Structures are given as C-alpha cells and as structure tokens.
Amino acid sequence: MKRNGRRRATIAGPDQTHKHFKAGIDAIARLLAPTLGPVGGLVINDRDRSRMPEMLDDSATVVRRILSLGDPRIDIGAMLMRNLVWKVTGRVGDGGATTALLTQSIFSEALRMTSAGASPVWISSGVRAAIQAVNDYIRSEARPVANEDELAAVAYTIVKERPLAAILGEMSYLLGEDARVNVDKFVAPYLERVYFPGANYEAQIASYLLYTDATHKRAIHTDCAVAISEAPLTKANEIVALMQAAISKGKKSLAIVAHSFKDTALHTLVANQQAEKKTLSLVGVTLKAVGDERRTALDDLALLTGATVLGRGFTPSVESVQPEHVGAALRAEVDAKMFQILPEQLQTVAVQERMAELRAQLEPLPQDDDDRPKLIKRLAALSGGMATLKVGASTKTERAVRADNAERAVKVLSAAQKSGVVPGGGAALVHAVQALPTFHLNDEEMMGVEVVRRALNAPLRQIAQNGNNEAPSAVVERVRLAGSPMAYDALTDQMVDAYSAGVLDVADVLIAVLETAASGALMALSTDTIVYHRKPKESLEP
C-alpha cells in the first residue's frame, strides 16, 4: 500500500497470515516450554553487558521482557502469545507456560485440519464445546484443600523451594482464602514469617508520647473501648466526651481512631495519658488510607467493634457521643506503621455478610486489577489475620525472583482454597479426555473436539521431556490408563497418587488456562488478513 509515493503498510493475505501467526506462536511456546514442571529450567535474559543477566522462571515476566523478535512476521504471533500469557497470569497468578503450550497445540492442530478443507467456523465450535466439557470435568473432580501440606505442594510448583513452599502453605492455611501477606526483602539469605492476629490497618500513632512501651515504640491496651471519628479532633471537650462514654461502658482504656488530632484535642489526649493518676488510658490513631479507602476502612472497623462512625452529618457529632456509640475490643496495639485490633466478636453475622459482598466484588477481577489489593486488605481485616513473609538472598536478582515467586504463590494458594485442587503435572488434563463430547456434534465439530483431545496431552508430555524421560508419549499413556487420581511425578519418574504425593494443580488456574489458550488460538485461526504498519507502536504492557 502506498500513499503520496511512500510505503505506509504491507498487507498479508489469508495464506501468509496463518504462517506468520504460527511462526510467532511457536517461537514463544519453544521459549517457555523448558520452564514447565518441577524440574523446569530458567530463561536467562541478558539485557545488556553492563548488568547481570536475569534468571527468570516466571513466564509472565519472560514475555514482558520481549518487545520484538526482530521480524514483524514473527512478532504478530509472538505478541499474541505475550498477551495471552500475561493475561492468564494476571487473572490467576500462574499457568503462563501451560497456556503457551496449549495455545500452540490447539492452533497447530486446528490449522492442519482447516488446511485440509475443514470449516474454521465448525472447528471453532467443536473446540469451544470440548473446552466447556473439560472445564466442567475439572470443577467436578476438584477436591477441597485438606491441609497445609497440600497447599505447600501447590506453592512448590511455583517457588521450587521446599522450605519456602512449606511456610507459604502454613500461612495460607492459617490465614484462609482471604490471606493478606506482605513480602519483605532482605539483603542476606533469610526466611521467616510474622503473624498479626485480629484486624490490621496501616496507621500511625497520634503522638510518640502516647507509647506505653517506649523502647519498642508501641502502645498496647487491653479491655479497650473504641471510638471512631471521620472528622479531625481539635477540641478538648471532644476528647473528654469520648472518655466519659468509655468510662460509662466500664472500660479501662480507649482507642480513638480519627482523621487527625490537633490543637487542644491532641494536648488533652497526651496530658491525660502522661498523668500519674488516670482513670482511663488513651491512645490516638490515624489511618494512612485516604478518600474512599479510608471511609470504607472506618466502616469495617465500626462493624468489627460495634462502634458508630461519628461526625458524618447523619451520625452524632463527637461532642454528643453516647456510650452506645462506642465499640469494644479485647486488645488494641498501635505503632508508627500499624494499628492492630482484636475485637470481642470477630465473626458476627454482619461481618460474614460484608465479607460475602466483598468476595462477590473480588471474584470477577483479574489479579492485576487496581481494586484487588484494596478489597483483599478489607477482607483480611474482616477475616482476622495478616502476615509478613521475610525472604532474603545474597544477590539482588535472587531476592527479586524469590519475592516475586512468593507473591505469585500467595495468589494461587488463595485460588486453591476457593476452587480446590486436582491431580497436577498435566494429569488432570489427560484424565479430562474422558469427558469430551462424543455426540450431538457434526463431523467437522468433532474435528474440533479432536483438536482439544490432542492438545490436552501437550503439558504432561513437555513435563516428562523436561524431566529427561526418553518416552514422554508413553508417560501420557500410562497416566491415561491409570486414571484419576494418579499423576506423573517428574522428580522421581514414577506414577503416584496425586493427593498423597502432593502433585497438585489448582482447579481455577487450569480452567483459566484452558479458556485463555482456546480463545487466543481460535482468534488466530479466524484471522485472514494482517496489516503491517511501517512504524508500529511498541508497548511495555502486553
């Protein structure tokens, strides 16, 4: 195509389009295939000679490093795969390499059949029917997570370290499906975890003079009244009114959560706490969240403690507070970073209902959605637990890999607790062949079913190959004949009971992988024309 004598774009017709797609799809699949399975290798990214090469085993990070393979005819398929891998990892936290292999297999098999004269429309229909049947089978076969050992087995497939996987399994099991785990990096080899019971909010103390433990810079109160104000506290009589309400409830201490503490209100707060004789111990807390995030945090805190958020216009002002507006907690602790509170009744009906609402909001969101961390924080506070995982390594590269893998594992373990687990290492996909439709489809649709039947074997075959097994196809056949719950353990080169041996995959991850791979392969199959622009835009985001 020319315009004003200058070449602006090149158009590839139907014959060339599929060849170009296949070249790029194959290139990315070959790149990621060696990383699959417990004995998979690393991808080395040598960015430039001035820095150490990156050692990557996360497929999403690998493809994000690729902006071009140097040839637009290869890039068209490669960038499609880049998007699919990044998309599935963002959605469920794992499964990128499996997605790449399944996409390659579905597209190649479907392309072979359409080249022989089959209709792409009917092939696509058969593929979709088969994928739906496989996903239904996976859901029906999924077992709830039985213990922390099963969670650790799932974590190991991501982090490839037994000690780290064991700790991640423990943390997920203790904290539940809504676990909030912060990962801290250390500059030396290190591995530890710290639990914070109750509801936890990022916050700061109103004044260092309120610390009850000055050495460790924290204030701890038990048998505590809780008062919440959305507005700043600036007057002495506001503090006095809150104190009187807490005393009327028979409490020994009072934690005041407010927008801010200023002027005579802060002076009154500090003066009372420093008095030699006092009837009530006080602490003031300011949440670090702002805007709507702070408003919802105050709402959740009020629900947990039974307090009323004062000063909202439709709620009483701080000065007119009554004892029934003040909540209660067994324990409250605050330092320069965190406010931890242990309510008297953590799991009330109202709290359970709000958690259900938040889970419903969280369910459709992909893993990289900006709202996910906010909802997870709220769920963690309401469910009563959070933790910090401390990981370290000798080099910056190792630290980054360990921390990134741990963060991905936390997401996958949450999915495992919600959807359950199935035999891993590609075994569940091989077992699912029995669920493929065999009737109510025409001949060409059944060709689409056959495409999926062959593709389901690809991940297990690659895992066996990565484990240096000389007969990967024979491994697939052994797993097929053994049936569920048997799986192939690439570490021992043996057939094992998947649940006893800990060779497990997460049901929701597999389902997302299958849906993403089929969607991408069929999109490439149904594309007849590619327009290559002279200077296409490059994007860091897949």
Q: What is the pLDDT of residue 106?
A: 97
Cβ neighbours for 255, distance < 8 A, ≥ 6 positions apart: 221, 224, 225, 226, 227, 283, 285, 329, 332, 334, 341
pLDDT tens per residue across span 411-438: 899 899 999 999 999 999 999 999 998 8
Cβ neighbours for 199, distance < 8 A, ≥ 6 positions apart: 300, 301, 304, 340, 341, 342, 343, 346, 381, 382, 384
DSSP, residue by residue, 68-121: --S-HHHHHHHHHHHHHHHHHHHHHS--HHHHHHHHHHHHHHHHHHHHTT--HH
Q: What is the pLDDT of residue 362?
A: 83
φ/ψ (deg, to 5) at 477:
-65, -40
Q: What is the pLDDT of residue 114?
A: 92
Q: Is the pLDDT of residue 538 over 70?
A: no
Q: 436 with 90: CB under 8 angstroms?
A: no
Distance CA 457, CA 94 (A): 19
Tell me what the mean pLDDT of segment 374-397 comes to: 86
Q: What is the pLDDT of residue 38?
A: 83
**Domains delineated in the chain:** 2-143+423-533 (1.10.560.10), 148-198+351-419 (3.30.260.10), 199-345 (3.50.7.10)
Instruction: Tell me which residue of 436, 446, 433 sits closest to 119, measured CA to CA.
Output: 446
Confidence at 337, pLDDT banded by 50, 70, 90: confident
Q: Kindly report the average pLDDT of the chain as a whole number.
A: 89
Q: Give the H/E segment covering residue 520.
A: helix 507-525
Confidence at 3, pLDDT banded by 50, 70, 90: very low
Q: Is the pLDDT of residue 61 over 90?
A: no
Tell me what the mean pLDDT of segment 138-164 comes to: 92
Q: Is the pLDDT of residue 249 over 70?
A: yes
* Single-letter code of the amino acid located at 296: T
For the entire predicted model, the pTM comes to: 0.77
φ/ψ (deg, to 5) at 67:
-100, -25
pLDDT tens per residue across span 464-479: 999 888 899 999 999 9
Q: What is the pLDDT of residue 4?
A: 46
Residue predicted with more confidence, 486 or 276: 486
Residue predicted with more confidence, 179 or 484: 484
Tell me what the mean pLDDT of segment 276-283 comes to: 88
Confidence at 5, pLDDT banded by 50, 70, 90: very low
Q: What is the pLDDT of residue 51?
A: 67
Instruction: Tell me which residue of 120, 123, 86, 128 sits closest to 18, measured CA to CA.
Output: 120
pLDDT tens per residue across span 304-321: 999 999 999 899 999 999
Tell me what the mean pLDDT of segment 435-459 comes to: 93
The least confident of 65-74, 209-218, 487-496 is 65-74
